[in-house]
Chains A and B, each alone.
Chain A
Amino acid sequence: MKSSFVCLFALAAVSLQAAEYLSKPLDVLRAVQKEGQGNEAAGKAWQEIVKADPAALPEVLKGMNGANPLAENWLRAAVGVIADEALKAKKLPVEALVTFLKNTQNSPGARVVAFDLIHRADEKLAEELTPTLLEDPSSDLRRHPVAKLIEAGDAALEKKDKDAAVVAYGKGLGGARDEDQIKVLAKKLRALDQKVDLPKHFGFLMSWKMIAPFSNADRAGFDTVYPPEKELKFDAVYEGKTKEAKWVDFTSTDEYGKIDFNKPFGMEKSVVGYAATDFFSTEDRPAEIRIGCKDGWKVWLNGELLFARDEYHRGAKLDQYKLPCQLKKGKNTILVKCCQNEQTEQWTVEWEFQLRVCDATGTAIVAAK
């Protein structure tokens, strides 16, 4: 008891010391910016940090809180060097890392590093911590308990315990945020006659008003400002590329929320379409609009352009682009411009996108209505 107290005291003292002497080099790493700004100073600061005592690891990890992704990588590399030495010397401060992990106010990226280090030092302890991570703010950390629940469900099925399997898979699906695990769980639950609402789970926006076809000849339509970018008048009719452009209602029946312009407008080429919808938020809050699209596209939220991408037919996937944004309480209007190009190969038919509104973890934000 006495020795534990002394040990804790010593650790706290080292930690305080670390906070003091590391604060300057940590600030230098956190100051790195785009285009290599701050690299020279960061290189020197990094050399100071990697000399730190292993007890300072939580302090270095804390440096990742609120840091930009470049600074995170500087710190991640420093943590790696300190931890490698600490593991060799069996001096990794496992308890302090567990405390760091459990504090969900710490950055998700830093907590993932902390969990990996705990796992390297004490696999059994990492196993014990795993179930506590099912509702974690980090989607990376959620993967571990979800994988365990998949295993548990499979084991229950082996024993012909369908009810236990359904519970395990259902719990796993509730926590899962990554597409690969969600797909596996949805398949397993459906095989056990359970209903799975994937659009709801992901938060796909399924109902839109759509208008097309405007011209995208020579791919110039991407930068052409057509009327829907100036006004959203859903009873308006405009001159289109091959016919009048009118707004139509469209609700996707695709499980992955694909909004397919080819369905209401036919398989046109060198065309531009727009889709608009309203998302009602219960509060002012940060969010992410995540889009998957293999055509040229632009997305506006409440009239503000979030991002534009002029790449055609190189592939699409769920959450291909993550657009951080701020939702306001009440109505938020989302406008998507989707540009089809002139290619005629079979693999260039798609003129579509999928879009969801979620938090940074990938958890769907439920609309107020």
Chain B
Amino acid sequence: MKTSLVLVFSLCFSSFARADWLQFRGPNATAVSTEAKVPGDDLKIAWAADLPGRGLSAPIVVGDRVFVTCSSGPGQETLHVFCFNAADGSKRWERAMRSTGRTMTHNKTCVAANTPCSDGDRVFALFSSNDLFAFDLDGNLLWLRGLTFDYPNASNSLGMSQSPVVLDGTLVVQSENDSESFTAGLDVVTGRNRWKMERPKAANWTSATIWKNTVALQSSKGILAVDPATGKTVWDYSDGASTIPSSVGAGETLYAVSHGITALAPEKGAVTQLWRNEKLNSGTASPLVLGDFLYVVNGAGVLIKASVKNGDEAWKLRMKGPFSGSPVAAGKRIYIVNERGIFQVIDPEAPEGKVLKEIELKETVLTTPSISGGAIYVRSDAKLWKLQ
């Protein structure tokens, strides 16, 4: 009895104490931290770690460890996975592998473009070359895949960036392109396919959203929600969607990046459209929902606040752009970093929105920050920073 109590207590304690940001845009790909401890307004650079190669992937955080990927070498064939100590930025381990797929990308992006993800015990690192590695938290290689080695026409000459998600023991990996386009659900233990489905033959850089125990796959055709265990369709919205910014779910609604923003209330097998605002046009950045409001960054670097109830615009705030990465949020603040490396803290509750603070990172940043343990992690091609 006493032991059970201790166990329950320790389990509860660990789930509260552990600070995780396990995938692109954090918890369920919402971009909003669920932790009670939030970063303060007066952020400073706590530490910076050197990175040996390029990367548009965001860092992820599992407990006290920060994981980040890079690609280096003349053709970006060397694929790095790093684990740093969150406390001081010291390196715990690094693994360097070699691409088995194609490494050609547009100059602006690179092979380390997909953000890794974790189920808390394992880290899954996917690269644009379609190389996929599963490590435990101590850097032991658990399994690997070469998805272009498996499916030779699965590649995009501009580069791919779809970040994997993991749910209930299935890793969902997308390789959606003009040729051999697919999404697969892999067993997290073995890396073997549980299911694999053909996807629209069209280049796609969006990442899946986890929403109400489904994985919502976005493409130019729309959004297909599948059961992660089987790949079977749960619902299908077929009115088209963006191929760059990804949708976001909050509460009972999925805010699809489709004809501006289209608010959807999918039920099993059916999708009800709640509202649509075609003026809420996302640029490259994906939207987020904070409280009762939706925030969209348009192509001109303007942050637009709109009601989640009807899509009505509340205000527009011109920020210092341009942006390739997406905004993230914690507590009552939104954080975003522009391509010139200006990190911006925004108060979205100010009457017209307000930029509270700027930190110049002095490097090109094309990626999305991550939030964990009251700190923010940002990376460039050469550095990983902790802001606290």
Contacts and interface: CB of A to CB of B under 8 A. Distances in A.
Contacts of B144: 39, 70, 73-74
Contacts of B189: 40
A59 interface: no
Interface in B108-156: 131, 133, 139-146, 149-150, 152-153, 155-156
- Residue with the highest number of chain A CB atoms closer than 10 Å, among B141, B153, B179: B141
B96 interface: yes
Contacts of A35: 145, 150, 192-193
A127 B155 CA distance: 37
Contacts of A308: 153
B100 A69 contact: yes
B35 interface: no
Contacts of B100: 69-70, 73
A263 interface: no
A66 interface: no
Given A73-B98, A178-B74, A314-B158, A39 B179 contact: no
Interface string B176-196: 011100000010011111000
Interface residues of B, number: 42
Contacts of A309: 153, 179
Interface string A281-315: 00000000000001000000000000111111011
Interface residues of A, number: 41
A36 B157 contact: no
The 10 closest A-B pairs by CB, nearest first: A314-B157, A39-B143, A69-B100, A36-B192, A36-B191, A315-B157, A311-B178, A77-B141, A34-B150, A314-B158
B143 A320 contact: no
Report which residue of B73, B102, B142, B144 has the largest number of chain A beta carbons within 10 angstroms of its beta carbon.
Answer: B144
Main secondary structure of the interface of A (DSSP, over half): helix
Contacts of A40: 143, 189-190
B106 interface: yes
8 contacts: A36-B145, A37-B192, A72-B98, A73-B97, A77-B141, A178-B74, A308-B153, A310-B178
A143 B74 contact: yes
Nearest to A178: B74
B95 interface: yes
B82 to A, nearest CB: 12
A69 B95 contact: no
A311 B97 contact: no
B208 interface: no
A308 B157 CA distance: 15
Contacts of B303: none
B74 A314 contact: no
A70 B98 contact: no
B98 A314 contact: no
